Amino acid sequence: MSVLRRKTRPQADVEHQIRHELAEILPILRIDHCSIELEAFDAATGTAVLHVMGGCSDCDASALTFMQGIEVQLKRRVSELKSVVVNVDSTA
């Protein structure tokens, strides 16, 4: 009996895919003056640390408001991703 094992991708490849997927997701949100960047990815735990900067000055919407949806989409698109931690830049 053979056991199927998933081939582990290099951490750099996973980080590149997370950045690519963020670039695909963020334009859909249409939040002005906002960015979300990958700070770090821990391959051992599957945790991505995202840095959120800016937001919408004319409304209550911000990237932080959409983080749950962004996390769901990232997990669907990047199989190695298990959790997302958000650091907010409060000076923006």
Query: Structure pTM?
Result: 0.79
Q: How far is CA 11 from the centre of its chain?
A: 15
Q: Does 6 map to a domain?
A: no
Size of the chain in residues: 92
Residue stretches of the chain with pLDDT short of 50: 92
CATH code at 32?
3.30.300.130
For residue 68, what are the contacts with CB-CB under 8 A and spacing of at least 6?
none
Encoding tokens for residue 34?
A: 């906002």
Structural domain count of the chain: 1
Q: Does 3 map to a domain?
A: no
Q: What is the pLDDT of residue 88?
A: 79
Q: Does 36 map to a domain?
A: yes
Summarised one tens digit per residue, pLDDT across range 57-67 is 555 556 667 88
CA-to-CA distance for 41 and 1, rounded, in angstroms? 35
Residue 84 structural domain: 11-89
- Helices 67-77 and 11-29: angle between axes, nearest 10 degrees: 140
